Structure 1
Amino acid sequence: RVKWNDMIHTSAKAYEMGGSQVYLKEGEEFPLHEMFKAIAVVSANDASCTVAEHLYGSIEDFVDAMNDRAKSLGLKDTHFGNETGLPDPTHYSSAYDLAEISRELLKHPIVLKYTSIWLDTFRGGKFMLRNTNELIKEYRGADGLKTGHTDEAGFCLSATAKKGDFRLLSVILGASSDAQRVEQSERILDYGFRNFQWKLIQKSGEIGKVFIPGAYPQHVPVKLNADFGAVVPRGSDLLIQTHLVVNQGLKLPIKVGQPIASLKAYVDGKVVAAVPAYSMVKVKPANFIIRLWRAFWDMIQSLFKRKK
């Protein structure tokens, strides 16, 4: 594990990096937060190389870790060939995969502290940093996320903006100019904010009970660990219905905090979002006496129903 104030040493390899950079010199040291700022604001390849080596010991191991993470996220159209994004025949991705990566990155809000910087300095004020993402200056609510450009890929931008409690992402690949990637990002974000809304569906905490046959207890209280919401078309928020659905194939015993159900949100019969629900109690198999009593009670209830 690393800390933001850890000093990062510049290697000869990092010193020799081309493309966008902050002109690190071999042996120079800066705290991690300064290196990260250089990466986030001006796409500094030399800083990327230096941080990768510090985190994993070598570029190769860092790239392997990137690809392992991509697989764990279920990305099918992404493979990293290096740590910088510079042209490489084995380096590729898609707009969808980059959106997934961006969404994962946004789970760490501190990233936005750096991607929202427009102007700053590096090397004690001697080197000026100007964000390559023009959108953060031109679009209300924009605070990230990352640009990219090579002759092969064109002008690219994974952008994010927030209005109220509603945050959106857009991804543009292969634009012909910086102005075009900004314009297209604005159009996508405008469309999203105009036609969709964020709806809080259920706050965190206990949300009900699920029935698990053969268990003790058989009516198990469940909770959400975080607030549950969804992006829905504007005007459809009143049409949202929710159903608590127990997971199939559950095996007893069940531990406290184990996911055993899903809370699903529907609009017009279609699932628009789902979130795990977690057991609030220990659940074990019901013993013979409890099962016998339940069978007897079920029989009594069925007799009363027949008489009615």
Structure 2
Amino acid sequence: MLVATICLGLAAPHAWAENSTELNLPCRNAILVNVNTGTVLYEQGPDDEVPIASITKVMTLLLTLEAVEAGKVSMTDIVPISEHAYNMGGSQIWLEPGEQFTLDELIKAICICSANDAAVAVAEFVGGSEPVFAEMMNAKAKELGMNHTHFVNACGLDEAGHYSSARDVSIMSMELLKHPKILEYCGIWMDSLRNGETQMVNTNKLLKSYPGITGLKTGTTNGAGVCISASAERDGMSLLAVVLGSPSSGERFEAATQLLDYGFANYETAEFPSIAGRVETLPVKGGVSQQVTLSYEIPEKILLKKGEGKKLTAETTLPQQMEAPVQKGEKVGEVTLKTEQSVIGTYPVTAAGDVSKMDFSTAFSLLSHAIFTL
């Protein structure tokens, strides 16, 4: 069990000591991640390459929403239903070739009842064909740093060469969570299609049993076992629990509940506190400009052990002035974040721009410019 960061572009998280807690999870693979900071709070076989069933549809939904936001497709577009989509087995909404559904309706069917036929129809609509869409899925996985993933289809039915890992599922799930629209669909408990003729009930039963649950995706096949990527939020802290390879649906939800309970019971997120001694500029000696603007590279939120959030303080260590030349990005000082007991971390303060050194030729050029612009 380790604590590490899996998201790029995030400030360094709290350097946690290794947690000795062992959860008795009824599943093959699992990971618990703090969505706010990208910090891994618990893991169990996180990089094993295994089938993931319909959790595959997380990537299908991600690419579809990206296509909508890029203006390539619209939620009101009519999606044609092919023979290939019609022939999908497993969970489905019994699409018939020639039927007409909007993209919005099919996304809803994917999120609520994990419809394989709807996922393939959407993949064909966005990518032109399911094989081309699978190539898009693999390209996105590579872009996100999902190093233990290869997609062959858009719905997650067992197929040779189609696999992912708990860590990679968490990466694409957190990327999908950046699109708030998805939680509107995932939070629907019951809905219908075909003017009420086709009833849809959400496969994520945690919506009815777990306080704070927000999504995200379930999956079940013979090869993958019973799986879930479950997102939840309480008191401003968002968690994601990925469970792969449970023996039964009930054990899948039990494992996800254990993971989320562990996270909410032991951790909290807090806003970065106001910084004592913060200044926005520093004097520069011998420069063409008399001061340089500072950039504070601090995160918006900090992950902490439960109860530490109210004890945070932050202070700067900065020089009285800088000597020219100063280069943009040059480290000027740092911010130290503390609790009452210990230092949590340090964050750099850098120069936000260049300040060249003043020499005779530069001074003469500036003087000449000033004279001729009078």
State the TM-score, normalized to the length of structure 2. 0.64
Q: Which residue, out of 349, 354, 359, partners 1:289?
A: 359
- Corresponding residue number in structure 1 for 2:69: none
After the TM superposition, which residues 24-103 of structure 1 pair with which residues of structure 2 at under 5 Å, given as runs?
A: 24-103=95-174
Partner of residue 221, structure 1: 294
Match of 2:13 in 1: none
Structure 1 contact 81–91 (Cα < 8 Å) conserved: yes
Q: Distance in 2 between matches of 1:188 and 1:142?
A: 13
Q: Which of 276, 280, 304 does residue 232 from structure 1 map onto?
A: 304
CA contact (8 A) 2:337 2:343 kept: no
CA distance in 2, matches of 1:92, 1:276: 42
The change in CA–CA distance for 1:269 and 1:227 in structure 2 (over 3 A counts) is closer
- Residues 200 and 82 of structure 1: CA distance in aligned 2, closer, same or farther (over 3 Å): same
C-alpha distance after superposition, 1:74-123 (max 9, x if no partner): 11111111111111121111111111111111111110111111111112
In structure 2, distance between residues paired with 1:142 and 1:111: 13
The CA distance in 1 between the partners of 2:228 and 2:166, in whole Å, is 10
Greater strand content: 1
Q: Which has the higher contact order (CA 8 A, sep 6+)?
A: 2
- 1:114 aligned residue: 185
Q: Secondary structure, in 3 states, of the residue corresponding to 2:90?
A: coil
In structure 2, the CA distance between the partners of 1:214 and 1:82, relative to structure 1 (3 Å rule), is farther
Q: Which moved more, 1:157-166 or 1:214-223?
A: 214-223
Structure 2 distance, partners of 1:10, 1:79, is 26
Cα distance, 1:213 vs structure 2? 11
Query: What is residue 48 of structure 2 aligned with on the other side?
Result: none
- What pairs with 1:158-197 in structure 2 (closer than 5 Å)? 158-197=229-268
How far did 1:239 drift?
Answer: 4.7
Helix, strand or coil for the counterpart of 2:204? Answer: coil
Task: Work out whether residues 119 and 155 of structure 2, in 8 Å CA contact, stay in contact via their aligned partners in 1.
Answer: yes
Aligned length: 277
Residue in structure 2 matched with residue 12 of structure 1 by the alignment? 83
1:221 Cα deviation from its structure 2 partner: 3.4
Q: Take 1:179 and 1:34, find their aligned partners in 2: how far apart are those partners?
A: 28
The answer as to 2:207 corresponding to 1:126 is no
Cα distance in 1 for partners of 2:239, 2:83 equals 40
Identity %: 36
- Report the Cα offset of residue 220 of structure 1: 2.6
Instruction: Choose 283-292 or 68-77, whichever is displaced more.
Output: 283-292
CA contact (8 A) 2:229 2:241 kept: yes
Equivalent residue of 1:97, what SS? helix
Tell me how far apart the structure 1 counterparts of residues 349 and 153 of structure 2 sit (CA, whole Å). Answer: 35
Q: Which amino acid aligns with 1:286?
A: S
Per-residue CA distance 1:157-212 (angstroms, 9 max, x = gap): 00011113121110111101111111111111111111100111169xx9845899
Which whole-Å CA distance do the structure 1 matches of 2:349 and 2:193 have between them? 44
Q: Distance in 1 between matches of 2:94 and 2:229?
A: 25
CA distance in 2: counterparts of 1:276 and 1:121, whole angstroms: 54
Q: Which letter does structure 2 place at the counterpart of 1:236?
A: E
SS of the residue 2:150 aligns to: coil
- Secondary structure of the residue aligned to 1:143 is strand
Q: C-alpha displacement at 1:230, in angstroms?
A: 2.4
Other-structure match for 1:136: 207
Distance 2:200 2:348 in 1: 41
Does residue 1:151 correspond to 2:222, yes or no?
Answer: yes
Q: Provide the rounded CA distance (Å) in 2 between the counterparts of 1:125 and 1:187.
A: 36
- The structural deviation recorded for 1:219 is 2.2
Cα deviations by residue, 1:40-60 (Å, 9 ceiling, x for unpaired): 011111111111111111112
